[in-house]
Amino acid sequence: MVTTIPTDAPQDRGSEQSIEQKAVAGLSQGALVRRRFFRHAGAMVALVVLVLVIILAFTSVGTVIGGTGKLQPAGDGSLSINGFRIPGWWPLDWYTSYPIVNGGQPTLTWFPFSMGEHPFGQDTLGKDVFAQVMRGTQQSITVMFLVGVVSLVLGVLFGALSGYFRGWVDSLIMRFTDVIIIIPIIVIGSIIGNILGGSSAVVFGIFLGILSWTGLARLVRGDFLALREREFVDAARVAGASNGRIIFRHILPNAVGIIIVNTTLLMSAAVLTEAALSFIGFGITAPDVSLGQIISEYREAFRTRPWLFWWPGLFIVILALCINFIGDGLRDAFDPRQQAKVSARKANRAVAAIPSVQAVQMVEAPTSSDDERYMDEFGGGSLPEPDAVNKRRFGRRKGDQS
């Protein structure tokens, strides 16, 4: 048997490296992050579901812009919303009592699909639960995004200043952060909600965001403490760049991964916090609607009319899970140690493309009398497996001894 071994063996390591780097050759850091994120199945499904929920909530019962969102008497004696309301495609609203249909039970059917007059059912007053849940989802989404924006701005600002300047600036900001951290956010949110008297989702979201930035600030501070000692920061400082330019143009882009991931986690926690505060009566209160307030209002009817809990609870879970899955996808996308799983067929193709593997050729022609004997015994063709050869040799030796 003749085995041809390549003489250019030193090229193997470079060839293997080129195979490993082939998938990312010529791509920028942003392109790599987008590629990893779009290939994360859980994050993509969660993103699609979140977009669909947002579209459904804001287009179904309409959107109220400005005002307090409270009910006020209109000129004809009916009630209207304080603010400019953009109507939606659903004809019913969340504050009017309608004649009870189907005993208040949901009229939604899946086979065949039909929403009916009240797909999520009605309460004892005849209010449409679908309209209430959509309005409550609007409130939760508004609070979620406001908390994310406010926490992002404050957390990045205080964390960057603390980590870059250090010294007395770091001590002052971190001690202030510690004071806010040791006080439970539920307690502070309850006090603020009681003082504001059940304000709108915009005001409530801003105040929750003011209380939620501390964890992000500490993470950004730790990242800045490590990045400020890197060579590119020293080069920018020698080139005459100001502190503001170094912070926002050189260091901050390198910390964007941890910032985005933790912001999504804060947004997910904001949904649950808003629902909890509204449940105990210190968040968004009647006559406006939130998901937690719906569950709190109908908690006595859990056994007799469970559909009053199914739908608001389901949308709370959907919002929280979607944001968490998106955060997991962003975490994996920004982590350079995360590698995509390669199938067995792709791995075999990559190995076969290495020049050293291609150069190794198995020649079937025999080179000795032993090879001829083994090939005659096993019918020619390729050489037998080592286990089969050992069995025949062992059997012959026992026959000779006997």
Decide if 155 is inside a domain: yes
CA gap 326, 390 in Å, rounded: 58
Digit-coded pLDDT (tens) for 373-389: 555 555 555 545 555 54
> Within 10 A of 79 (CB to CB), how many other CB atoms are there?
13
Q: Residue 330 carries which side chain, given as an amino acid letter? A: L
In a domain, 389, yes or no: yes
Q: Looking at the domain assignment, is residue 26 inside a domain?
A: no
Amino acid in position 273? T
Q: Check whether residue 376 and residue 233 sit in a common domain.
A: no
pLDDT of 18 reads: 47
Running DSSP on this structure, what letter comes out for residue 76? T
Are both 180 and 307 inside the same structural domain? Answer: yes
According to the model, what pLDDT value does residue 181 have? Answer: 86
Region label for 54, one of left (φ > 0), alpha (ψ between -120 and 50) or beta (otherwise): alpha
Residues in the chain: 402
Q: Are 296 and 385 contained in the same domain?
A: no
Domain membership of residue 203 (yes or no) is yes
As a whole number of angstroms, the distance between CA 261 and CA 263 comes to 5
Q: Give yes or no: residues 318 and 375 share one domain.
A: no
Per-residue H/E/C for 116-132: CCCCCCECCCCEEHHHH
* In a shared domain, residues 170 and 279: yes
In contact, 259 and 152? CB cutoff 8 Å: yes
Supply angle C-alpha 225, 268, 306, rounded to 5: 165
Residue 268 and residue 381 in one domain:
no
Say if 264 falls within a structural domain.
yes
Give the total number of structural domains in the chain: 2
Taking each helix axis from N to C end, the angle separating 41-60 and 307-334, rounded to the nearest 10 degrees, works out to 140
Give the Cα separation of 106 and 104 in Å (integer). Answer: 7
Q: How far apart are CA 211 and CA 151, in angstroms?
A: 8
- What is the distance between the alpha carbons of residues 214 and 220, in angstroms, rounded to a whole number? 10
pTM for the model:
0.75
**Contact call for residues 202 and 139 (beta carbons, < 8 A):** no
pLDDT, position 376: 52
Measured torsion, CA atoms of residues 133, 135, 139, 145, in degrees rounded to the nearest 10: 90
Residues 298 and 384 reside in one and the same domain: no
Domain-located, residue 280 = yes
- The Cα 73–Cα 125 span in angstroms is 19
Please tell me the predicted confidence (pLDDT) of residue 362: 47
Which domain, by its residues, includes 234? 128-334
Which residues of the chain register pLDDT less than 70? 1-27, 67-69, 74-79, 193-194, 196-199, 336-402
DSSP-based three-state secondary structure for 50? helix
Q: DSSP label at 399? A: H
Give the pLDDT of residue 368.
53
Q: Domain for residue 375, yes or no? A: yes
In a domain, 377, yes or no: yes
Domain boundary among 334, 355, 373: 334
Integer Cα distance of 154 and 207 in angstroms: 12
Instruction: Report the pLDDT value the prediction gives residue 318, as an integer from 0 to 100.
Output: 94
